[in-house]
Amino acid sequence: MSKTLDARGYNCPIPVLKARKALSELSDGEELTLLATDPASAIDIPHFCNTTGHTLISSDEEDDVFSYKIRKNQTEK
């Protein structure tokens, strides 16, 4: 199963906080697609994944919208 979270229009730290909440509602191994317009998300989301142990599968930017695919890992660090 996968879930899409639309965080467009929100600035730091809201996309990260919304991603954390959404991931907490998923089972291990499920994926979250996060959409954001905050340019800082290009730094914040990879950092969030690195510090929590979740896997950043992909990141992309098109028309000023950043898209991140994150796999939930067993437990946050």
Does 12 participate in catalysis according to the annotation? yes
State the Cα–Cα distance between residues 62 and 24, nearest whole angstrom: 27
Q: Is the peptide bond before 13 cis (omega within 30 degrees of 0)?
A: yes
Given 3, 10, 12, 42, which residue is catalytic?
12
Q: Please count the CA atoms within 13 angstroms of the CA of 5 that sit on its side-chain side.
A: 23
Q: Which residues have a catalytic role annotated? A: 12
